[in-house]
A and B are shown apart, each in its own frame.
Chain A
Amino acid sequence: MSGSRVLAFPVARADVVQRGAAAGRALKIDTLSFWGGVDPATGRLSDPATAHHGEALAGRVLLVAEPRGSSSSSAVMLELLRTGRAPAAVVLGRIDAILGLGIVVAREMSWPTIPLYRLPADAQARIPDGAALRINADGVIRLA
Chain B
Amino acid sequence: MVQLTAEEQALRDGREGPAAALALRIVAEAARMLGAERLVPIESAHIDGCLYHGDSGTLFAERLVAGDGRVRVPTTLNVGALDLLHPERARLEAHQAAMARRMMDAYMDLGCRPTWTCAPYQAGHRPAPGTHVAWGESNAVAFCNSVLGARSERYGDYLDICAALAGRAPDTGLHRDENRRATLLIDTGGLDPRLMAEDAFYPVLGAWLGATAGATIAAIDGLPAGLSDDRLKALCAAAATTGAVGLFHIIGTTPEAPDIATAFGGAPPAGTIRLTGAMLHAARDRLSTAEPARGAAIDAIAIGSPHLSVDEFWRLLRLLDGRRSRLPFYACTGRHTIDKLEEFGLMDEVKAANVTVVADTCVVVTPILPPGGGVLLTNSGKFAHYSRPNTGYDVVYGSLSDVVETAVAGRLVRDEALWR
Known contacts A36-B386, A71-B48, A71-B155; decide if A79 and B26 are in contact (CB<8 Å). Answer: no
Assess the B30–A78 pair: CB atoms within 8 A: no
CB pairs A–B below 8 angstroms (28 shown): A18-B33, A35-B53, A36-B390, A46-B389, A47-B389, A69-B154, A71-B136, A71-B154, A71-B156, A71-B157, A72-B51, A72-B53, A72-B156, A72-B157, A74-B159, A78-B60, A79-B54, A79-B55, A79-B57, A95-B33, A97-B170, A100-B33, A101-B26, A101-B159, A104-B26, A104-B30, A108-B63, A111-B56
Q: Among A71, A73, A105, which residue has the most Cβ atoms of chain B within 10 A? A: A71
For the complex, count residues of A whose C-beta is within 8 A of B: 35
Task: Decide if B59 is an interface residue (CB 8 Å cutoff).
Answer: yes
- A-side contacts of B157, CB under 8 Å: 71-75, 101
Q: Among A79, A81, A97, A111, which residue has the most Cβ atoms of chain B within 10 A? A: A97
The listed residue (A17, A36, A109) touching B60 by CB distance below 8 A is: A109
- A-side contacts of B48, CB under 8 Å: 71-72
Q: In the complex, what distance in Å separates the CA atom of A37 from the CA atom of B56?
A: 18
Residue-wise interface mask of B (142-162) relative to A, using a CB-CB cutoff of 8 A (1 in contact, 0 not): 000000000001111111100
List 9 extra interface pairs beyond A74-B157, A97-B33, CB under 8 A: A17-B33, A71-B156, A76-B53, A78-B158, A82-B55, A95-B34, A97-B34, A101-B158, A104-B30
Residue-wise interface mask of B (298-340) relative to A, using a CB-CB cutoff of 8 A (1 in contact, 0 not): 0000000000000000000000000000000000000000000
Q: Among B49, B51, B55, B160, which residue has the most Cβ atoms of chain A within 10 A? A: B49
Which residues of chain A from 86 to 129 have any CB-CB distance to chain B below 8 Å in the complex? 95-98, 100-102, 104-106, 108-109, 111
The listed residue (A73, A75, A111) touching B54 by CB distance below 8 A is: A75
Task: Decide if A68 is an interface residue (CB 8 Å cutoff).
Answer: yes
For the complex, count residues of B whose C-beta is within 8 A of A: 34
Known contacts A36-B389, A101-B159; decide if A71 and B138 are in contact (CB<8 Å). Answer: yes
- A-side contacts of B57, CB under 8 Å: 75, 78-79
Assess the A105–B60 pair: CB atoms within 8 A: yes
Task: Decide if B196 is an interface residue (CB 8 Å cutoff).
Answer: no
User: Would you give the shortest CB distance from A55 to chain B, in whole angstroms?
Assistant: 17
The listed residue (B55, B56, B63, B137) touching A71 by CB distance below 8 A is: B137
- B-side contacts of A40, CB under 8 Å: 53-54
Q: Among B22, B30, B154, B157, which residue has the most Cβ atoms of chain A within 10 A? A: B157
User: Would you give the shortest CB distance from A76 to chain B, in whole angstroms?
Assistant: 6
- A-side contacts of B123, CB under 8 Å: none
Q: Which residues of B contact A (CB under 8 A)?
A: 22, 25-26, 29-30, 33-34, 48-49, 51, 53-57, 59-60, 63, 136-138, 153-160, 170, 244, 386, 389-390
Assess the A98–B156 pair: CB atoms within 8 A: yes
Assess the A74–B60 pair: CB atoms within 8 A: no
Task: Decide if A6 is an interface residue (CB 8 Å cutoff).
Answer: no
Nearest opposing residue in chain B for A100, CB measure: B33
Q: In the complex, what distance in Å separates the CA atom of A67 from the CA atom of B244?
A: 10
- A-side contacts of B51, CB under 8 Å: 72, 75
User: Would you give the shortest CB distance from A14 to chain B, in whole angstroms?
Assistant: 14
Nearest opposing residue in chain A for B32, CB measure: A17
Residue-wise interface mask of A (60-71) relative to B, using a CB-CB cutoff of 8 A (1 in contact, 0 not): 000000001111
Known contacts A71-B136, A72-B48, A76-B53; decide if A105 and B158 are in contact (CB<8 Å). Answer: yes
Nearest opposing residue in chain A for B243, CB measure: A68
Assess the A108–B136 pair: CB atoms within 8 A: no
Nearest opposing residue in chain B for A116, CB measure: B33
- B-side contacts of A100, CB under 8 Å: 30, 33
Assess the B156–A73 pair: CB atoms within 8 A: yes
Which residues of chain A from 20 to 72 have any CB-CB distance to chain B below 8 Å in the complex? 35-36, 40-41, 46-47, 68-72
8 nearest A-B pairs in the assembled complex, by CB-CB distance = A79-B54, A98-B156, A74-B156, A75-B157, A82-B56, A75-B53, A97-B30, A78-B56
- B-side contacts of A109, CB under 8 Å: 56, 59-60, 63
Q: In the complex, what distance in Å separates the CA atom of A96 from the CA atom of B48?
A: 17
- A-side contacts of B136, CB under 8 Å: 71
Q: In the complex, what distance in Å separates the CA atom of A81 from the CA atom of B244?
A: 25
User: Would you give the shortest CB distance from A103 to chain B, in whole angstroms?
Assistant: 10
- B-side contacts of A106, CB under 8 Å: 56
Known contacts A78-B158, A108-B25; decide if A68 and B56 are in contact (CB<8 Å). Answer: no
Q: In the complex, what distance in Å separates the CA atom of A97 from the CA atom of B56?
A: 18
User: Would you give the shortest CB distance from A33 to chain B, in whole angstroms?
Assistant: 10
User: Would you give the shortest CB distance from B391 to chain A, in whole angstroms?
Assistant: 12
Assess the B54–A82 pair: CB atoms within 8 A: yes
- B-side contacts of A71, CB under 8 Å: 48, 136-138, 154-157, 160
- A-side contacts of B53, CB under 8 Å: 35, 40, 72, 75-76, 79
